[in-house]
Amino acid sequence: MAAAAPSAPGIDIGIKVGERKKIAEGLSRFQADAFTLYLKTHNFHWNVTGSMFNSLHTMFETQYTEQWAALDDVAERIRALGFNAPGSYREFAALTSIPEEAGLTDSADWREMVRQLVVANEAVCRTARQVLDVADDADDAPTEDLMTQRLQTHEKYAWMLRSLLQ
C-alpha cells in the first residue's frame, strides 16, 4: 500500500482565523462591488453613443481592463486568507452594495452612463475603506496595501468621470 499523502497544514500567517474570516468577508463584498462596476463599465463601453463616443469608448475600455486584472488580485487575497472567493452572479448580486440599474442599451445618454459610473466607483471606495479598517485592526498589511491601491484607482476614476459632467 502506498502511504497517504500528507494533508496540508493549517493556515498560520499570524492572523487569527476569526480575523481572517472578517477580512475575507469584507473582501468578498469588495469583490462583488468591483465585479458589478467592471460589468457596468464594460457594458457602457459596448453601448456608448453620441458626440463623446470615441473618448468614452476608450476611457471605459482602459478602466474595465484595469478592473478585470484587479479582480484576480482580490480573489487571490481571499484565497490566501483561507476562504473561497465569490465567483457567481448570484453571489455577487447578494454581496454588492451597488444597486442594479437599467443597462442603458437603448439610445442611452452618455451622461447617464458617466453618472452611474461615478456613483459605482464611489461605492467601491466606501467598501474598500471598510475592508481597510478591518485589515488594519488585524495588522493585515497585504490587504491594507491592496485596498489602498484600489482606493487610489477608484477615487481617480470617480474624479475623472465626474469632471466630464461639470
Measure the CA–CA gap between 31 and 153, rounded to whole angstroms.
15
The percent helix, strand, coil of the chain (3-state, each to 5) is 70, 0, 30
Residue 86, in any domain of the structure = yes
Is residue 91 domain-resident? Answer: yes
Please report, for residues 5, 49, 68, 86, 149, the alpha-carbon distance to residue 33 in angstroms, rounded to integers and kept in the order given. 39, 25, 12, 11, 16
Question: Is the per-residue pLDDT at 105 higher than 60?
Answer: no
Is the residue at 156 inside a domain? yes
With 70 as the cut, is the pLDDT of residue 106 above it?
Answer: no
As for how many domains the chain has, the answer is: 1
pLDDT of amino acid 108: 73
* 3-state secondary structure at position 82: coil
Average of per-residue pLDDT across 16-41: 97
Q: Tell me which H or E stretch contains 79.
A: helix 53-80
For 56-81, how does the pLDDT look when each residue is reduced to its tens digit (9 = 90+)?
999 999 999 999 999 999 999 999 99
For residue 128, what are the contacts with CB-CB under 8 A and spacing of at least 6? 30, 147, 150, 151, 154
pLDDT of residue 104: 60
Q: What is the mean pLDDT of residues 145-164?
A: 98
Question: Would 6 be classed as within a structural domain?
Answer: no
76 is in which domain, residue-wise?
A: 17-97+108-164
Q: Is residue 3 part of a domain?
A: no
- Is 107 within 8 Å of 50 (Cβ atoms)? no
Is 153 contained in some domain? yes
CATH of the domain at 48: 1.20.1260.10
C-alpha span between 69 and 83 (Å, rounded): 20
Can you tell me which residue has the cell 482580490? 74
